[in-house]
Amino acid sequence: MIYQNHEEFEKELEKLKKEYNGKMGCFVSLSGFVRDYHFKEGKKTPAESMDLSKIDYDIIEEIRQKAIEKFGLLDAIVYHNKGILKVGDLVSSITVFTKHRDEAFLACRYIIDEIKRYH
């Protein structure tokens, strides 16, 4: 599921941890924040904000579904912020639930790498 509200994401995370208790080998979470710099053409440049006003939640859901299939996940949830974000703001949170840790790390990396292609 994709969340636009971080509190709802956190509630679902707690619910799923209980639901998958005994079924999962692990869950892996990643949270990303706006840095005070960007890389443009391989050069580090100062930044004060990040424009994510055009983020498409349908694409994020497609990425999530593909990760579930590709890595055999029990589940995956994603929060993604939208709008003009300032340095230090939370951009996204991802949690994947798996039977084994290897696919958990791979799936989490896959999801964030695919989402970043649309930033």
Per-residue pLDDT of the chain (119 residues; tens, 9 = 90+): 999 999 999 999 999 999 999 999 999 999 999 999 988 788 888 889 999 999 999 999 999 999 999 999 999 999 999 999 999 999 999 999 999 999 999 999 999 999 999 88
| Helices and strands in the chain, H and E counts | 3, 8
| CATH number, domain with residue 92 | 3.90.1170.40
Q: How many domains does the chain have?
A: 1
pTM of this prediction?
Answer: 0.93
Check: CB of residue 81 under 8 Å from CB of residue 89: yes
Three-class DSSP category at 50: strand
Please name every residue paired with 84 in a beta bridge, in sequence order, or none if there are none: 51
Residue 101, both tokens: 């840790």
Q: What angle do CA 32, 38, 39 make, to 5 degrees?
A: 115
* Residue 71 belongs to domain spanning: 2-116
Determine which helix (DSSP H) or strand (DSSP E) holds 95, and give its type and residue range. strand 90-98
Assess contact for 13 and 95: CB atoms under 8 A.
Answer: yes
Adjacent-strand bridge partners of 40: 43
pLDDT at 15: 98
